[in-house]
A and B are shown apart, each in its own frame.
Chain A
């Protein structure tokens, strides 16, 4: 399985500001995914990021709020823009690899918005 790192691991931000989360993989991957996990809840897919094309967003998530970059096959960023306390969540990136298109996850970024 791929080794995935995320930065920052956690942050506390003021409302109205933006935070960019980085996801780095130790091997080239086609598909990268960004998930949100709100407190006490399950994971919800925000978007799928392919290298060289625009990210595909799920219903309820828009590019203006969650812009994503995918400059190469090992790296992606997710920005949480104009943050409000409702954006307080864990944000996780994942990649497909190994058998059966299994997804492997990064360690997550815990975001708290005051």
Chain B
């Protein structure tokens, strides 16, 4: 079974600075997807970014980018120019590509605080 680990329960960053959230995972599969979701206090789960394992290029969405290291099974999220609205719980998630309709396996989450 796949597992996802986020080793940083809490992180903080100054507004306009850059922060990196860590995620590692364990799988024996070669094809899969990885995601970062954001959950603000409103509890809505919002997709931040996705990465397909077969793509070597790191995904980027505006101020959000990932560092995907397949061999190391690492998938970190970098937030540049942090904004107050980035404050939220961030979850890393894994989805198998080998099974249609497969479940998402989530990490424990990292609570990000943005200081003005």
Contact = CB atoms under 8 A, between A and B. Distances in A.
Contacts of A105: 37, 44-46
Contacts of A37: 43
Contacts of A60: none
A101 B35 CA distance: 11
A41 B109 CA distance: 8
Interface residues of B, number: 23
Interface residues of A, number: 27
Interface string B16-45: 000000000000000001010100001111
A33 B43 CA distance: 17
Interface string B48-64: 00101000000000000
Nearest to A99: B50
Contacts of A1: 47
A42 B108 contact: yes
B24 to A, nearest CB: 15
Interface of B: 33, 35, 37, 42-47, 50, 52, 91, 95, 97, 100-104, 106-109
8 closest A-B pairs by beta carbon, nearest first, are A105-B45, A31-B101, A42-B106, A108-B43, A45-B103, A43-B106, A107-B44, A100-B33
